Amino acid sequence: MFEIEVIARMIRLLRARLAEAHAEPDAGYSTEAVVVIALLVAMAVTAVGIIAVKVIAAANHISTS
The per-residue pLDDT for range 12-55, each reduced to its tens digit, is 988 888 888 777 766 566 777 888 899 999 999 999 999 999 99
Whole-angstrom Cα distance, residue 59 to residue 43?
Answer: 24
Give residue 63's pLDDT: 87
Give residue 26's pLDDT: 65
Give residue 5's pLDDT: 87
Give residue 3's pLDDT: 81
**CA angle (42, 23, 10) in 5-degree steps:** 20
Give residue 34's pLDDT: 85
- Is 65 or 15 the better-scoring residue by pLDDT? 15
